[in-house]
Amino acid sequence: MSTPIPVTEETFSQAGKVLAVHLSYSSRAAQRGRTPQFPSYFMKASSSLAVSGSTVERPAGTELLAFEGEIALIIGTEARRVSVEDAWSYVGSITASNDLGVHDMKYADKGSNIRSKSGDGYTPMGPAALDASTIDPSKLRVQTWVNGQIAQDADTSELLFSFAQIIADLSQQMTLYPGDVILTGTPAGSTVFFPGDVVEVEVTDLISGATTGKLKTTAVQGTEEFAAFGNQPKVLEKDKEDAYGDRAAAGLEPKLTGKDALTAEVREQLAAVATATLSGTMRKLGLNNVNIEVPGATKGMQRVIGTAATLRYIPNREDLFKSHGGGYNVQKQAIDAVKEGEILVMEARGETGAATLGDILALRTQQLGAAAIISDGGVRDLDAVSNLDIPVFYNGAHPAVLGRKHVAWDRDITVACGGVSVQPGDVIVADSDGIVVIPPAMVAQVAAAALATEENDEFIFEMVKRGHGIEGLFPMNAEWKAKFTAWKEAGKPELDSWQL
């Protein structure tokens, strides 16, 4: 175990750049509702670096100053195009850091984080650094306290991307120089803090017990307003949710998911109405483009109700297929991630010149309890797929494999399938008559209104069967409405025997 090295302002003198990872801990990714395939980054000004014991200003007119306890890597040796296997040897030391930001200014720079993350003192580090050569980077713990109460506690076993992968990835495009700082992301628990609050962050080597000590930062209230010649603070709902960690902590209404919306009552109502009725109901409520257009259905009129999981294919390009198409690619990841009751919706741009899945992947989707598969591309092994229990809706059959036309690119995002936008968690009702996409926030309203329409149409249909003319009945005038109401109040007896 090496002796911790004090982190002073001299430590920062060589920091040409500060690089930060957006999402790297699984707990944080779960909060955000998305899991990236690869790491992504932003930059902070080196002038934001500060030592332990410093203060950080919450600018006047802002309210969303948030902490993020992190492990900082300080580069020790110049690194350019290094391998993942060798990458850790280029790190000189590690320390505790706090990736502070004021989310009221996040909107202003379209993702660059310049004003939200690069304020003076917004990257405190220390109070001590540990020699990286003595450390196993997979055996580190990061903890954060606010006013003495634990707020974050995680270890590097939950990293989505190893520190070595992050270093190697960054070195592909830029030279990492001695003194450069990499902030490696924060686990769940990051939230807003206030003037007078004290935030402490500590990193511990789980093998030796060596520690960086507690990095201490105190928030103070700024008095200088933002000048009128620049962007002013603005609290957006999404930024508030991000700053606090989730909607509940931010005091916002919970975001309704399809699984929440699909109560037993709503599911029963949806099962009782035709997709045509659902489509018409959606149109009355102002949503016209909700019908996925694909002609094939392996299970005929079998009704399917579920929530969307999404997968997007892009047009094949040989170099991209080489880097993304083989092995355990996004297509296979998406299928393995499908949960019970979900409907896997694939965006294939309407391209039917290659398959988007075959019998093996369809079987795996069935085994995981998926309700259905919808693709606006082709399906191969159609006979075998049709013999599976899982309903598959498709745009055509084709014997060619994926790579002829497609590269599986990303998942759990908004996709376009059969001419319709579909978001993860949307409620989908499908049969060979049609496929209807319903936003979760509207599904209870749509189900109830569609059921009322269905009862109305059932009554009219039976009256026409009895020989009644259309005039005054379709739509119903006051006289027919009174008869319809009487039928419902009588408990909706069999219409073929009910006396008008």
Residue 342, CA atoms < 13 Å, CB-side half-sphere:
22
For the chain, the residue count is 500
Which class for 303: exposed (0-12), middle (13-18), buried (19 or more C-beta within 10 A)?
Answer: middle
Taking Cα atoms as reference points, which of 336, 290, 338, 331 lies closest to residue 312? 331
Say whether 380 counts as a known binding-site residue.
yes
71 three-class SS = strand
The 10 Å Cβ neighbour count of residue 70 is 30
Q: How many C-beta neighbours within 10 Å does residue 85 have? A: 9
Question: For residue 377, which phi and psi values (nearest 5 degrees)?
Answer: -120, -165
Let me know if 499 is exposed, middle or buried by CB neighbors in 10 A (0-12, 13-18, 19+).
exposed
Torsion sign, CA atoms 292, 295, 296, 297: positive
Is 69 known to sit in a ligand binding site? no
Cβ(377)–Cβ(406) under 8 Å?
A: yes
Looking at this protein, which amino acid is placed at residue 483?
K
- Paired sense of beta strands 65-66 and 101-102, if any: antiparallel
Is residue 427 classed as helix, strand or coil in its secondary structure? strand
- HEC string of 171-208? HCCCCECCCCEEECCCCCCCCECCCCCEEEEEEEECCC
Question: Can you tell me the distance from the alpha carbon of 386 to that of 392, in angstroms, rounded to the nearest whole number?
Answer: 8
In contact, 55 and 217? CB cutoff 8 Å: yes
CB 12 within 8 A of CB 72: no
Q: Is 361 annotated as a binding residue?
A: yes
Q: Which of 40, 79, 77, 74 is nearest to 171 (CA)?
A: 79
Is 58 labelled as part of a ligand binding site?
Answer: no
378, 356 Cβ separation under 8 angstroms = yes
First-to-last alpha carbon distance for the chain, in angstroms, is 92
Q: Return the structure tokens found at 306.
A: 């579920």
Q: Which residues are annotated binding-site positions for substrate?
A: 358-361, 380
Q: Which residues are annotated binding-site positions?
A: 358-361, 380-381
Q: Which residues are annotated binding-site positions for Mg(2+)?
A: 381
